[in-house]
A and B are shown apart, each in its own frame.
Chain A
């Protein structure tokens, strides 16, 4: 009896989270007049909403922009995060603890305080309306460094000493010895960075005005807000679906990693 109640509650919960998405996807295939209904099925399903989106905005280009920007940011955060994390966990040098303190301190600063000066910096560098503005300010993350540092601290010193005797330098140790052992932390940092880069809208809205350089979420936002959708609900939902589907597909395959990554990050901050 108790079990039955639990399953009913779980299913109600599941419907609350899943039904809106199913409803959205079905609405994108419905004619405009049928969107205002509760059910999912319509006998007039068609692709007209997607055709409208592809006609009105360069959404394919925006998709490629987003992939390019997120991939660059993610690779860079992993590369530099692991290098700095290695230095902070495995090397002794004067000022190391101070540097560690600085990194912890930067995580406390609300981004609201640096947002405007950062924009001005982009203007002065001439990076507004370029990939540079989207990529360079996100190339290093304090959080990534801390995750790598924490993981590397648990690697036995014997392994590293053995590699040193074989004549490896620190970069070789990092890339040849430690990287193969560090899959969990690389996946965690990778997923979190890729997701936050892929989903970020505020910063692209500030530094990109050229339509052909816009990221996918930015273009979809502008499409919905800026009147290009001409009030067509179906087209707006189709654009939103095109933005959601890639990450949902990736999530479907790697959901365990997504959830575990987000959980560890939450707990460590």
Chain B
């Protein structure tokens, strides 16, 4: 239709005009940094003096950087403790909250409270809870007649302690996600199971868990991405110690860039680390989804 043509054209123009903010933003703050990171990884640079081409030497250095691989290992240790702990606790509390009970909203709001508070607050608070002589946790343990735990001062305990704290902080969010998942399971499934005489534990493993598969994928991926950006907790609590046991990859990259001023090398680390994140998340997605 001839008459329709100009109208379409006008629509076109507004479409572009209204998308323009994003296009500008993309070019400046996503496209350019991405391209620039490709340039940086082949250079040595401290921002002040001119850039210096070093070819693949940043990668050579990376593969011989014991501290960087320690930091990756630490981050993975964090994830391996944090994710299962989080799933078990979140699922447990979500199933309880999903029963017919009073004050459901109140408890849900209470469990969610640490999610809205800044990680800095949680870290400063838990630093006191973990204190060896005067911390709340060790005081409780002593009351119960158990020996005190060197939460943050022993290199074997420090990272698990941070993982426990992170679980406490984030678990409310995952409770809410599991609750949404639980509420979407059709009720007739349980009724059918009850007629077959299945006990509640059997029902949980044969109906509830499989039905929560999508939520599970989401929870695993969200907490993995969150865990890979672990930074402020060790930065405030331990500075990466004792003996580098809580040096997370993000903290190491931060130190390389903003403490030592190695911009090119830090960009290389960031680039490599981002690749690792993508690979881990893709593998997780494959594994968790296949269980279906």
Contacts and interface: CB of A to CB of B under 8 A. Distances in A.
A10 B191 CA distance: 26
A116 B133 contact: no
Contact of A38 (B113, B139, B273): B139
Given A109-B34, A170-B14, A243-B118, A236 B263 contact: no
B15 A112 contact: no
A42 to B, nearest CB: 14
A6 B96 contact: yes
A243 B120 CA distance: 9
Contacts of A102: 26
A265 to B, nearest CB: 10
A51 interface: no
A190 B96 CA distance: 31
Interface stretch (B76-84, B148-156, B203-211, B230-238): B230-238
A109 B115 CA distance: 24
Given A87-B15, A140-B25, A17 B235 contact: no
Contact of B109 (A88, A198, A224, A259): A259
Given A13-B111, A102-B26, A117-B40, A24 B257 contact: no
A86 interface: yes
Given A6-B101, A117-B40, A255-B112, A20 B136 contact: yes
A116 B168 CA distance: 30
Interface string A9-40: 11001101110110110010000000111100
B15 A93 contact: yes
Given A84-B19, A217-B118, A111 B229 contact: yes
A74 to B, nearest CB: 15
A118 interface: yes
B6 interface: no
Contacts of A13: 93, 96, 107, 110-111
A103 interface: yes
Nearest to A170: B14
B11 A112 contact: no
Nearest to B258: A206
Main DSSP-derived SS at the A contact region: helix
A12 B176 CA distance: 18
Given A110-B277, A233-B128, A243-B120, A117 B236 contact: no
A174 to B, nearest CB: 8
Given A38-B139, A103-B22, A140-B25, A221 B125 contact: no
Contact of B33 (A9, A36, A117, A139): A117
Contacts of B228: 110, 112
Contacts of B116: 195, 247-248, 251, 258
B274 interface: yes
A188 to B, nearest CB: 14
Given A91-B18, A116-B266, A110 B225 contact: yes
Interface in A97-112: 99, 102-103, 106, 108-112
B92 to A, nearest CB: 8
A151 interface: no
B283 to A, nearest CB: 15
Contact of A116 (B37, B118, B143, B235): B37
Contacts of B111: 13-14, 17
Contacts of B190: none
B42 to A, nearest CB: 13
A20 B37 CA distance: 42
Nearest to A3: B101
A106 B273 CA distance: 17
Nearest to B28: A121
A240 interface: yes
Nearest to A267: B180
Given A17-B114, A248-B113, A269-B222, A117 B22 contact: no
Contact of B236 (A21, A86, A225): A225
Interface string B181-205: 0000000000000000000000000
B117 interface: yes
A220 interface: yes
Interface in A199-222: 199, 201-202, 205-206, 217, 220-221
A165 interface: no
Nearest to B134: A36
Closest A-B pairs by Cβ, 10 of them = A36-B134, A93-B15, A117-B33, A87-B18, A114-B33, A113-B274, A91-B15, A240-B124, A117-B36, A110-B274
18 contacts: A14-B110, A14-B111, A18-B110, A110-B278, A116-B263, A116-B267, A119-B257, A123-B47, A195-B116, A201-B232, A221-B235, A224-B236, A233-B128, A241-B121, A259-B112, A262-B173, A267-B180, A269-B222
